[in-house]
Structure 1
Amino acid sequence: MSSRILPDFDLLLPQSVAEAVELLSTHRDRITVMAGGTDVMVAMKFAQSPAQLMSLENVPGLAYVLFDPEKGLRIGAKATVADLLAQAEVKRHYRALWHAAQTFATGQVRNTATVLGNLLRASPAGDCSCAIYAIGGVVVLQGSSGRREVDIDDFWLSYGVTARRPDELAVELILPPPAAGSRSAFKRMTRVSEDLAKLNVAVRLEMSGNTCIDARLAMGCVAPTPLRLTRTETLLKGRELTAEVLQRVAASVQWEISPIDDKRSTAEYRKQVSGVLLKRAIQEACGAA
């Protein structure tokens, strides 16, 4: 257990989304928003503490995971990673996300950490973030001027920075309904299973037989934010997934990524294994049809 003592801060406890937005509109960057708090509390022990911490604990109606076959999957701001695992529809229709949630940290953390919090952390190692990037979707933001939706492709701006404005609250994530022939998979590499990933990858494929109609490929720990492998995606679209095609796909990855050396791995190792991990994710997705 850490012996570090939290510095003084003002704790704000809004009772509604409207009140939370009003506080954000008034105090803006001086407020740090907390739902589960698994990242925020650690940061407060090792970095400069925010002057004001706003907890969503008392805000009702945000802890939901709802699936509609025509509208897709809706995940509220207070829905935890464990809440995803409790939904059979997530495992059936969004397998990459379900697998990312299944391997996410420890049971205690899964019961506390929120899915939207993983997105808002804007870490390149976020497992749920990687899976969601491959699946696609929009983040719903509520601000003083109303609600707006930001496509997940435009959400991460740089390390630790998202498209959320200081006066906005992220209230919901919406994933698209599963298309015919759609399948997905997620894989990660770690030093130990409970550690942050040294490399993770997620794929979503729309297949017709053995031919790939469309593809979204995402990889983490190889850039300042989660990364779409758009160049490599073009090697899959409209092609039968033969051994030769998969080999070209695996070889393409190293030209799209820009990993760094850190305490979990080296840039060279990540470059060497990234294509192999992507190939295995594609094969797993196809085998899970």
Structure 2
Amino acid sequence: MVKDTKIDKTARDTHYATLRRQVRDAKRERGEIPTPDPRKDRRKETDWTPPQLAPDQVRLYGLHTVRAAIDNPERKLIKLSVTQNALVRLEIGPVDSLGFPVEIVTPQDLDKQLGPDAIHQGVMLETRPLPMRRLEALKDSPLLLVLDQVTDPHNVGAIMRTAVAFGAGAVITTMRHSPTESGVLAKSASGALEMIPYIQITNLSDALGELHKLGFFTVGLDSEGPAPLERALTGDKVALVLGSEGKGLRQKTRETVNALARLDMPGEIKSLNVSNAAAIALYATRQHLLKKTA
């Protein structure tokens, strides 16, 4: 008897489609993927208007981000909105002992607050922004990271996570043309926003001058820098300065740093995404500092 492969293939495809739908529905219930609009013509992201926030209020979302914020004693927490499943996964203990209101919601409720494409994982925390820090408080930190108008919050969040991994004392950036503390930034940092000072300054050249007075050797990363980063590093306190995604370092910044250096790459591509460049530069600088203390 000849096996009807066409019927078998149809049954197999139907089975796999059912499994994929079950997995997708489970992820939606946990808030790991956005919930689709029930209308046929799905609302576009540009059509969504976020609810108005007070100037001293931030909405954070995502399990790692929210758990780190709750554990941060410097955070002033306002309200936690969470699905029943996400509350279990947060592992924060009895809600009655938390000291701030907790509301059980659905993933759709959070979609309305955060937008249709936010991967909130079923949890949103309303909080006050973190306290502002001053540069003078960083005098004992041997390694700092300075960003010259890096605008993408996803890049800045990734950079913050890497900076924490390599023990940097702070991420310093400009108030203009840089992301403020937000849910997108915090989600990209995956908890790192609570672990490292994020200092926004008014004038970058003035801030670099202040860092020089505090004993930091400032190195600007530039693909056309005259020397490899490893040869440019000196001293026991270093502040790495990275430029924006498209234009790189501004001319005033190039003139203010102590040295310009490049990342030597043997391949055909000579420039990297700013978050990748930051990771390589932080590693090289950490090796330099370890040799100074050996």
TM-score of the aligned structures, taking structure 2 as reference length: 0.28
Larger strand proportion of the pair: 1
Please say which structure displays the higher CA radius of gyration: 2
Which is bigger in relative contact order (C-alpha 8 A, separation at least 6)?
2
Larger helix proportion of the pair: 2
TM-score of the aligned structures, taking structure 1 as reference length: 0.28
